[in-house]
Structures are given as C-alpha cells and as structure tokens.
Amino acid sequence: MTGFLEALGKKAAERWLVLLVLPGVLWLATALVAVHLGHRNALHPGVVVDWISRWTKVPHPSGLLVAILVGTLVGSAAAGLAATGVGWVLRRAWLTSGRRRPARWLVEWRRARWRRESRRVEVLVAEAIGAAGTASEVVTGPGIAEALARRDAVALEVPDRPTWIGDRWRAATVRVRRAYGLDLTVVWPRLWTVLPEQLRTDIAAAQLACTSAAGLTGWAVLYAALGVIWWPALLIGVVVAGAGVFRARTATATVCDLVETAADLYGHALAEQLRITVSGALTTDVGDEISVRLRKDPSAEPG
C-alpha cells in the first residue's frame, strides 16, 4: 500500500511539474521579455540580453535568489492554474448548445455549409444513378467519396452546435441512438462497467488528451494577453491556439469513435447484465428498453 501511494504521489508530482510548472516558467520568461522589450523594441532581443548580462554581473544576496526561485515556482503554478481555468471555460464554450445569439448565428452558418455540401453529394449520386441506370448498380467513385468527406468535415450529422467539437459529441449520441436505441446520457455510466480494461484505458487517455488540449488553448489566451505590451506575444498566442484547437478536435474525434465502438461491441453485454433477453444483434427496441429502465423515470411506473 505504501509503495502504491508513493508511486501515485510521484505520478501526481510529475503531472504537476509537466502540466503547470514548466509551461508556467516558459510563460513567465515570455512575460519578462515582453516587459523589457515592449512595442518599441519588440524585435530587438539584444535589449534583454544586455539586461541579463548587467544583472548577473552584480552580486545578489542569497535570500534574494531564494525569493526569486520561490516566486518563480509559485508564479508558474499560478499561471498554470489560470491557464487550466481558462481552458475549462473554453471547453464549456465548445460544448454549448448555441440557442442564443451570437452562438445561434454560428449554428445557422454551419448548417448552411452542411446543406450546401449535402446537396453536392445528392447531385453527384443522382448523376451516378442516371449514368448507371439503377441505384443498385451505382459504384461510389472518388467524386462522391470526396464530396462525402467535405460534408462530414463540417459535421457527421446536421449541425446543431456552434462548434465542430460540440457537434461531434452530439453526433456520437445521435448515431448510437439511431442504431441501437441507446440514450448515451443515461446508459454510458453502466456501459462503462462492462467494457474491457484496454478499451476503458484508451477512452480515458483520449479524454485526457481533450482536457490537455483545452489547457493548451488556455495558455494561448495568456500569451495573447501579453500582446498588450509586446505584440509578438499575440502571434505566439495565435499559433498556440491553433495547435490547441487542432489537438482538441483530433482528441474529440478519437474519444467519440471509441464511445461508438463501446456501444457497437458491448451494448449486447450491457443488455445481458440487465437480464434483458437479446437474440441476435442489438435492436432499437432492446436499446429503448435499456434506456427506459436505466432512466428510472417515475412517469414510466405502472399506475
């Protein structure tokens, strides 16, 4: 037990160091550069080099050095916590429903894009059917596949969220509900218990990647804030934000694919654990029964 706690503490310390302190030290160093360069000397790093040379040539008391070290650790940890908090807010924004303006405008814009790409797919399919004579003889060519890829790049289902990430999460629930009748909002905690360890590990790793990506976008906001006094920091923020959003989309796609995989492969096992008879493949009727049972809705109780 002691060994386990020591290993757990060591792992937590490593995560604290990698996710908070080291990125925080880098941000503090950037802030120091921003303060000394400003907009006037934004592209003259020699100013900072000269300042560091002058500072190091002067002897400083050990107490001051210890205070600087402690202040750096505390400041970097505080910056890391701030970036984590900003990342959490951004992640909530990615998942917003978009019922109010201006988020609703984004939903309408994405929906118009999706429908435009969908019409292109329909036109290509109609042309292929006309050339083949019957729908059964149509062979999906590269043109149709490319058009489908463009439509799916907007969203897998008709967009209903202002962001791609929000729509990808929604698409997972819609697709599972349509295929098996399972309401993932209710079913997922129980489905998790019947998954094999490897799949649960993969899902947890993908979910952690989503959280880390959100934290990276939080750092982007902190770097962009330094642009008020040093404009190159704004460019750094834009680059970091782009990397964070790209990682967030990739991680979201991975975790949603894994969640759908869990429903595809182990929805049957959940039905068996609930003592619901399943003969053959999992049907929407069985999935609806599972969802209703797990929802425990009092209105569903017999009178």
Q: What would the pLDDT profile of 222-238 be if each residue is shown by its tens digit?
A: 999 999 998 999 999 99
The residue count for the chain:
303
**How sure is the predictor about 279, in pLDDT bands with cuts at 50, 70 and 90?**
confident
**How sure is the predictor about 300, in pLDDT bands with cuts at 50, 70 and 90?**
low
Structure tokens belonging to residue 115: 């429908």
Distance, in Å, from the CA atom of 238 to the CA atom of 243, rounded to the nearest integer, reads 9
Distance, in Å, from the CA atom of 106 to the CA atom of 159, rounded to the nearest integer, reads 10
Residue 252 and residue 169 in contact, taking contact as beta carbons nearer than 8 Å: yes
Distance, in Å, from the CA atom of 290 to the CA atom of 187, rounded to the nearest integer, reads 8
Q: pTM here?
A: 0.81
Helices (H), the chain: 2-16, 22-37, 46-57, 62-94, 103-132, 142-154, 164-180, 184-193, 197-225, 232-273, 284-295
Residue 117: which residues within 8 A CB-CB, separation 6 or more? 147, 150, 151, 154
Distance, in Å, from the CA atom of 11 to the CA atom of 6, rounded to the nearest integer, reads 9
For residue 218, give the amino acid letter.
G
Exposure pattern of 219-244 as b/e (b: 16+ CB <10 Å)? bbbbbbbbbeebebbeebbeebbeeb
Q: What percent of the chain has pLDDT over 70?
A: 86
Distance, in Å, from the CA atom of 36 to the CA atom of 226, rounded to the nearest integer, reads 12
What's the pLDDT score for residue 5? 35
DSSP 136: G
**How sure is the predictor about 3, in pLDDT bands with cuts at 50, 70 and 90?**
very low
Lowest-confidence region among 49-63, 167-181, 198-212: 49-63
The predicted-structure confidence for 100-125, as pLDDT tens digits, reads as follows: 788 888 889 999 988 998 888 888 87
The predicted-structure confidence for 188-218, as pLDDT tens digits, reads as follows: 999 999 999 999 999 999 999 998 899 999 9
